[in-house]
Every structure is written in structure tokens, then in C-alpha cells.
Amino acid sequence: GIWGEVRDEIAAGITQQGGIIDEVQGPLGWELRAQVPVPLPDGQTGAQLVRFVGVDGPRWFLRGVISGQGAVRPESAGVLEQIFRDTVVVRGDGPMAPRDPIVLKLPNDAQMVPDGVQTEDQEGSRFGGGMGQLERGPEITEVR
């Protein structure tokens, strides 16, 4: 497998940029938790928290990057981790050079839905999030 190699390369790149890396045993195996330096709109440098996860398979490797609340509070990344676990890799029989990307294809019944839109089909889905319909919050209007 190459996940150990890839972790080392990611860690070296992030520390070169001035970031901080922590290698930990997570729910998906060994992972990197990182504070990656990012430029802010005001010109200063901030940090984005991310988690790099990976798994080696027979003649393939799958890597994922989790950001947002799943990186800040790993216990809240359950849905993302389940999607990662449920990913099926079909490498094919043809020869490929090491580290060549495999084309990502969605299942035939997958549907693209804009963020925040809850459809009737998603209500029974285990990836639906259970948030229900989003409602508009308070608004402030200024009239002159």
C-alpha cells in the first residue's frame, strides 16, 4: 500500500508551508489532522483544519479530505466517514501506472441536488442528515 507514503508526503508539504500536522489513529485508520495555512481576505494568514484519510486496496488507493465541522469535531463527521466506507472502487483489469487516478463515476441512480434542498427521496436516506426542511431566519431591512 501507499497510504503511509502519501501521508508522509502530505505532512511534509503542509509543514513546509508552515502548517501543523498530527498523525492519529482515527475511525478510518491512520489519518492526518492538519492546520493548513490559508490567506485571509485582509491579507493575513489563517489556518484551515482538515483531516486526510486513506485506505489501500488491491492495486488501488482511496484518499479523502474532510473539512468543516468534520475536521473541527471529528465526532460530527459520521455521515462523511460512512460515505467513505461505502465507496466502491472498481479498478478494472487494464494496466495503470502507479498513482494514476481512477475516473470517479457516480452510481446510475445518483441525483445531483443543490445544497440545502431536501427532496422527498432523501427523507429515507441514511445520508439525508435528518435536518428536515430549512426555514428562513430573521431578516433586517433598512428603509431610507
Q: Which residues contact 136 (CB under 8 A, 6 or more apart)?
A: none
pLDDT score of 115:
55
User: What percent of the chain has pLDDT above 70?
Assistant: 76
More confident call, 38 vs 107: 38
Instruction: Give the confidence band of 135 by pLDDT, cuts at 50, 70, 90.
Output: low
pLDDT at residue 61 tops 80: yes
Q: Cell numbers 490567506 label which residue?
A: 39
Cβ atoms of residues 36 and 74 within 8 Å: no
Mean pLDDT of 124-140: 55
- C-alpha distances out from residue 70 to 13, 15, 44, 118, Å: 22, 22, 25, 21
2-28 residue pLDDT tens: 999 999 999 999 999 999 999 999 999
Instruction: Say what the pTM is.
Output: 0.71
pLDDT score of 129:
52
Cβ atoms of residues 53 and 63 within 8 Å: yes
pLDDT score of 140:
61
pLDDT at residue 124 tops 90: no
31-51 residue pLDDT tens: 999 999 998 899 888 999 999
pLDDT at residue 125 tops 60: no
